[in-house]
Structure 1
Amino acid sequence: MTGRAAPVTVLEGLRAHDNDYSGVERSFRARTGFGLAGPIDRVPEGISEPVSVVVATYNGGRPLAGTLAGLEAQLWRGFEVIVVDDGSEPPVHRVVLDAGLTVPVTVVRSPVNLGAGPARNVGLTAAAGSTVVFLDDDIRVPPAMTALLALRQQHTEGCLFTGFRDNTGPEVFFAPDGSPPPRIERDWRWLSNRGGDRYLLVTADPDVPHCDRTSFEPVRESRYFKDFGHGRAIGFWDLPGMVSSHSLCVKRADAVAAGGFPEEYGTHWGAEDLAFGALMAARGTYVVPALEWVSFHLRHEGRHVPRAAERARLEQALDRYRNLLQQPPGERRLPRHRLRRVSGPGRPGVECYELIR
């Protein structure tokens, strides 16, 4: 968190703080020779930032294998992996062991499905690194990801970095070399053709003027998010909406100070990342796009939800989000999740824990 004053409510914090990280960017460039948003075209030397990569999964054993393969292919090895098994049936121990990761691995098993927010908070509790990277279980990351994020967090304070995704099929997601490379322009934040009143509801500030456009380029139009903040929006999108939990990176201390991911969303459709982004931005954390952090995302298989049910879940999640916006951000605390070490079908370098309910 930066040294800026704490707001009374989350919404007031979003209105009070800017997202112009130009000063941080100048300092970062002076130290490293690179721009903060990127791109960074080579893996630098001298990286020492401890990094924990948290992957929460629920019945996602098949795509998880591809996610772990991408982590094993990382060019920089100074990180640990924490897999949070959120009540999967069958458990994912065997998938993790078969991945053969050569970096330290921790598997935390919850006996019941808690939902994405609680599962990520369990990972945050178990993380030993001062920097934490959160990934979904169906993301195939580029080989320089951990190095470039560690470099950014090593030389900055008060920044949340967010990555991009390219939706693809299994023939690409599971390809050993990840070829062809993912394309950033296929992420909706690069080019969004979404429209309609349902997306207008996503903006935090109720005073955002109506917009008739249906095509947006949030990254370019916001000068790489610098013109977001102070409650400003581009069409249907504002700063919290730029935060996606499939690929985000924060200082552990900043995430803990914000209270972690809100857990009141349960197991229904997301918005916990939207809420987490609002909590972080309201406290003065800068949201910065990492342009070379582009991953393949495996298109969801077999998840067919009727439109009416999807709309109802979205409305429920957004109602909870609006309620969170009226709360004081400084009063949130990271929920306590107690872990117990257990014996498991392990191998050297793999530790197993269970969540105590």
Structure 2
Amino acid sequence: MTGAVAAATLLDGLRAHGNDYSGAERVFRARTGLALTGPVRQVPEGISEPVSVIVATYNGARSLAGTLAGLEDQLWRGFEVVVVDDGSDPPVRHVVLDTGLAVPVTVVRNPVGLGAGAARNVGLTVAQGSTVVFLDDDIRVSRNALALLALRQQHTEGCMFTGFRDNTRPEVFFAPDGTHTPRIEGDWRWLSDRGGDRYLLTTADRDVPRCDRTSFELVKESRHFKDFGHGRVIGFWDLPGMVSGHSLCVKRADAVAVGGFPEEYATRWGAEDLAFGALMAASGIFIVPALDWVAFHLRHEGRRVPRAVEHARLERALDRYRSMLRRPLDERRFPRHRLQRAAGAGRPGVECYELVP
């Protein structure tokens, strides 16, 4: 239409919004007496925020058992668990039933794998909590993790919290909770030595110059991510790059409002968490690190494809990501996923559904 003004692109949104969440920080401290980023050593009483934990899994039965055991160990019980089985062969429902979670559980089966983004959106479709926590199926959280995330979301608006991970071995990952403690120093955003010729440029802008540095402390250098936003970069990274899909906590309404996770990244190294982070940041949601949210990640044993092949896949995914950044920010809509109740729930407290093709 002649004279019409083009809608702002996603990249325009990233450049328009900063990430200085000091106002939310002050409100949180006034209400709780605690620091928003933490670490919080003792969990206060009076937590009432309803939480849904969404775990998307594909052929991850072995590690999923440890992830669910970590959820069963939670000291605060005001949450439900939603497991989305994205085409696993065999299905993982028996793993969920064998865990015997003493909280409400929903299992959704996608007969054909759709990818991590679509699986998480399916989880959002059935989630009942006003706050959602996304976990990968190889992440084991500490016993107070969900309580502290619920506390943060109960007393803030417009914040998405991201956690950290420490890669570990099976004997640690599957040990009873409390036997070992994950270290935040194990997460690359805390301390990274990814050199310029060994790592891909993940920033939204292609014209960011290559960096000669070989060591980064991104949490500290960015004042806990506050100095990201407005397109600012540190080395190879900008604000969306601080978002890791293995551990995210956000208000469900905020996630739905941006259209959920982009579903066009259906392969490994899909960059769907990077794209989701860009959508959230461009819409004005603050990306906040939770320094006490450190989980064990089960280290993968061996690689199915060479590292160079994985990097080539990621480069293609980043090209799709940058193409997405040029689209209008307001064109995304939350996808509709139709579900039907599956036969044989298995036990009381477990709801089972299947995705309708």
Aligned equivalents of 1:139, 1:128: Cα separation in 2: 22
Greater Cα offset, 207-216 or 272-281: 207-216
C-alpha distance after superposition, 1:226-256 (max 9, x if no partner): 1100100111111000000000000000000
* Paired position in structure 1 for 2:175: 175
Distance 1:18 1:158, change over 3 A: same
C-alpha distance after superposition, 1:45-78 (max 9, x if no partner): 1111110000000000000000000000001100
What percentage of residue pairs aligned between the two structures are identical?
Answer: 79
Please tell me whether the aligned partners of residues 172 and 178 of structure 1 are also in contact (alpha carbons under 8 angstroms): no
Distance 1:51 1:259, change over 3 A: same
* Paired position in structure 1 for 2:274: 274
**AA partner of residue 279 (structure 1):** L
* Paired position in structure 2 for 1:3: none
User: Residue 176 of structure 1: SS of its match in structure 2?
Assistant: coil
TM-score of the two chains, using structure 1 as the length reference: 0.96
* Paired position in structure 2 for 1:33: 33
TM-score of the two chains, using structure 2 as the length reference: 0.96
Cα shift at 1:17: 0.6
Greater Cα offset, 178-187 or 98-107: 178-187
Aligned equivalents of 2:93, 2:137: Cα separation in 1: 14
* Paired position in structure 1 for 2:258: 258
C-alpha distance after superposition, 1:295-341 (max 9, x if no partner): 00001134331133212211110011001111122210111111111
Greater Cα offset, 193-202 or 323-332: 193-202
* Paired position in structure 1 for 2:15: 15
User: Residue 29 of structure 1: SS of its match in structure 2?
Assistant: helix
Aligned equivalents of 2:55, 2:271: Cα separation in 1: 18
* Paired position in structure 1 for 2:74: 74
Gaps of 5+ in 2: 1-5
C-alpha distance after superposition, 1:248-282 (max 9, x if no partner): 00000000011000001112322000000000000
C-alpha distance after superposition, 1:79-138 (max 9, x if no partner): 000000001011111100110100000000010111111000100111111100000000
**AA partner of residue 267 (structure 1):** T
Answer yes or no: is 1:164 the counterpart of 2:164. yes
Aligned equivalents of 1:199, 1:13: Cα separation in 2: 26
After the TM superposition, list the runs of 4 or more consecutive aligned residues in structure 1 that deviate by more than 4 angstroms.
Answer: none
Aligned equivalents of 1:198, 1:279: Cα separation in 2: 27
Answer yes or no: is 1:208 the counterpart of 2:208. yes
Please tell me whether the aligned partners of residues 201 and 210 of structure 2 are also in contact (alpha carbons under 8 angstroms): no
C-alpha distance after superposition, 1:170-194 (max 9, x if no partner): 0100001242200001100000111
Cα shift at 1:200: 4.8
Aligned equivalents of 1:324, 1:75: Cα separation in 2: 41
C-alpha distance after superposition, 1:22-66 (max 9, x if no partner): 111001100011111011111111111110000000000000000
Please tell me whether the aligned partners of residues 200 and 315 of structure 2 are also in contact (alpha carbons under 8 angstroms): no
C-alpha distance after superposition, 1:118-164 (max 9, x if no partner): 00010011111110000000001011111101111011111000000
**AA partner of residue 158 (structure 1):** G
